[in-house]
Copies of this chain bind each other. A is one copy, B any other.
Amino acid sequence: MSIVETSIADRPRYDCRDAYVETLAELAEADHRIVGVVNDSVGSSKLNSFRKAFPDRLINVGIAEQDMVGVASGLANGGRIPFVSAASCFLTGRALEQIKADVAYSNTNVKLCGMSPGVAYGELGPTHHSIEDIAWLRAISNLTVIVPADPIETAAALRWAAASDGPVFIRVSRMSVPKVYDEDYAFRLGRAITVRAGDDVTLISNGTVLWRAIAAAEQLATEGISARVLSMPTVKPLDTSAVVAAARETAGIVTAEEAVSGGGLGGAVAETVVQQHPARVTILGIPEFAPTGSAGYLLDHFGLSPDGIAAAARRLVTRGT
């Protein structure tokens, strides 16, 4: 399923927001129920073309995230399928209780699209970094949490979300990424994808960090370390059997995500491992409010680079021998 012939780091890069808006337009074309809901975030969500195509169906409530999510819930009550599209930091931080009560607990058919998540906003600083979103949303019942890794997976996850009934959160990356999947990729909820087979150690990742994990595996391969790379687009529900298999079959697991290093994907993997098959896991993430720096700088700074991930994997393998 995955393309691993050339080094992933050398492939062209894409802003997943482009796939987002293309797919949303395509879905909206096919299903009149689909509407967008934004908080003055038309430009930052790249929705100008959508607005042009569907002027009535892009609802801009202004800079008002609580209202945005409440309005989406009401639109769903009226039979619409709202795709809420706002910077992930504000969508999740400012409207968390609305997400809990009006979306998850009310079980409304709302799709929450967290734009420019993680440290995509780089120099704009921790107020604009959305590294807590996964941990925050994972704690809420009845909410699916998806972190796509490339434009293909972003599109596929959106299509799946539009077709499924119920609350979904999808991160839509701004940091450009290479394609990880073939065009025929089919999103399956709660399923890990083995993007690279391997038996020495396992790298579990998603979002903008997945390709870095693949690049780390390429690097490890040159040293004779065979790293399995699991893409884990669905953080909730987690593919626990893939995690358990990794714990059982390899020397340990490195999780790597553009998120706080506790409570997110790493936390979900740790909770699975300790309960089902204790094994060594290294959790890579962003452990503190980030200093000033571009998104790329910050990922490297916190060891979320191919080198950083490879180093963590190497330590696990060395310890195992």
Chain A interface residues (CB < 8 Å from chain B): 89-90, 93-94, 96-97, 100-101, 104-105, 126-127, 131-132, 135-136, 138-142, 260, 262-264, 266-271, 273-275, 278-283, 287-289
Decide if A135 touches B139 in the complex (CB within 8 Å).
Answer: yes
14 residue pairs of the A-B complex, CB under 8 angstroms, read A89-B97, A90-B97, A94-B96, A100-B126, A105-B127, A131-B139, A141-B287, A141-B288, A269-B274, A270-B274, A271-B283, A273-B278, A275-B283, A278-B278
* CA–CA, A268 and B264, complex, Å: 11
Q: Which partner residue on chain B sits nearest A278 by CB separation?
A: B278
Decide if B267 touches A263 in the complex (CB within 8 Å).
Answer: yes
Chain B residues within an 8 Å CB radius of A273: 270, 274, 278
Decide if B105 touches A263 in the complex (CB within 8 Å).
Answer: no
Chain B residues within an 8 Å CB radius of A139: 131-132, 135-136, 260, 262-264
- State the Cβ distance, A266 to closest chain B Cβ, in Å: 7
Decide if B93 touches A94 in the complex (CB within 8 Å).
Answer: no
* CA–CA, A96 and B93, complex, Å: 6
Decide if B274 touches A96 in the complex (CB within 8 Å).
Answer: no
* CA–CA, A138 and B139, complex, Å: 11
Q: Which partner residue on chain B sits nearest A135 by CB separation?
A: B139
Decide if A138 touches B140 in the complex (CB within 8 Å).
Answer: no
Chain B residues within an 8 Å CB radius of A260: 139, 141
- State the Cβ distance, A272 to closest chain B Cβ, in Å: 9
Decide if A141 touches B93 in the complex (CB within 8 Å).
Answer: no
Decide if A271 touches B262 in the complex (CB within 8 Å).
Answer: yes
Contact of A142 among B138, B140, B274, B289 (CB under 8 A): B289
Decide if B278 touches A105 in the complex (CB within 8 Å).
Answer: no
* CA–CA, A274 and B252, complex, Å: 9
Given A126-B105, A132-B140, A289-B141, check contact A280 B278 (CB 8 Å). yes
* CA–CA, A97 and B94, complex, Å: 5
Chain B residues within an 8 Å CB radius of A127: 100-101, 105
Given contact pairs A142-B288, A274-B274, a sample of 13 additional A-B residue pairs in the complex whose CB atoms are under 8 Å apart: A94-B97, A96-B136, A105-B126, A135-B263, A136-B139, A262-B271, A263-B263, A267-B270, A269-B274, A270-B271, A271-B283, A274-B281, A275-B280
